[in-house]
Amino acid sequence: MKKLIVGISGATGAIYGIRLLEVLSRSDIETHLIITEAAENTILMETDWKIQEVKSLAKVAYDIKDLGADISSGSFLSEGMVIIPCSIKSLSGIANSFNENLLIRAADVTLKERRKLVLVVRETPLHLGHIELMHQASRIGATLLPPVPAFYFHPKTIDDLINHTVGKVLDLFGIDHHLFNRWGSNSVKRTLRKKGFKD
């Protein structure tokens, strides 16, 4: 069974991580979850989910302080890792290989083993320091995927916007989904025709 490490950090937008876990729980992907202490506060503040309910969506949930966990070693084989959402603090730790907790350690291992690391960085506006951290993380192998929704598929709810970002994450790992209508799909073509666009 394929394994994916999922991290949820303390940035606003915890629902992105929860939605990803919901989708993956219905797939053949085995998820290994890390939630930071700040993320637990964000989950309670922003959603109606209880922490244990979120953890139950994953196959395995780890203590953020457990630097001896399976996922802290390069011998743990996985498809890679996503941190969704990713705070600037976590981005900084990754960019500078400052392995102060299991989230950053697992990300660092993912990079050194040349596996895919996706960071859904959730911050705005950005100053130069933030951009330089993104540049450094990208330079050492991370993929930056800020939660920037598309509007060509005419999202009608917050769920539509969340699903678009989660779908983009799944695309990067080659995981099939139907979370949004793709450009070129029949649904999008119908919308364009109604507005007078020609194929």
Averaged pLDDT for residues 76-84: 99
Averaged pLDDT for residues 109-123: 99
DSSP string computed for 71-135: GGSTTS--SEEEEEEE-HHHHHHHHTT---SHHHHHHHHHHHTT-EEEEEE--SS--HHHHHHHH
Decide yes or no: CATH 3.40.50.1950 for domain 3-194. Answer: yes
C-alpha–C-alpha distance, residues 149 and 152, integer Å: 9
pLDDT of 116 > 70? The answer is: yes
pLDDT of residue 89: 98
Residue 191 pLDDT class (50, 70, 90 cuts) = low
Percent of the chain predicted with pLDDT > 90: 87
SS3 196: coil
C-alpha–C-alpha distance, residues 123 and 86, integer Å: 9
Is residue 172 within a helix (H) or strand (E), and if so which, with residue range? helix 158-172
pLDDT of residue 43: 99
Q: What angle do CA 190, 193, 195 make, to 5 degrees?
A: 115
Tell me the pTM: 0.93
Domain ranges of the chain: 3-194
Residue 67 pLDDT class (50, 70, 90 cuts) = very high
Averaged pLDDT for residues 165-169: 97
Residue 131: Cβ-neighbour burial (10 angstroms; 0-12, 13-18, 19+) = exposed
Residue 7: Cβ-neighbour burial (10 angstroms; 0-12, 13-18, 19+) = buried
How high does pLDDT run on average in the chain? Answer: 95
Averaged pLDDT for residues 91-118: 98
Local structure of residue 69 (DSSP, 8 states): S
Residue 152 pLDDT class (50, 70, 90 cuts) = confident
SS3 7: strand
C-alpha–C-alpha distance, residues 88 and 129, integer Å: 10
Buried b (16+ CB within 10 A) or exposed e, 66-86: eeebebbeeebebbbbbbbbb
The token pair that represents 195 in the structure block: 């507005």
pLDDT of residue 122: 97
CB-based contact 79:125 (threshold 8 Å): no
Averaged pLDDT for residues 77-94: 99
pLDDT digits (tens, 9 = 90+) for 23-59: 999 999 999 999 999 999 999 999 999 999 999 999 9
pLDDT of residue 188: 65
The token pair that represents 138 in the structure block: 């990208």
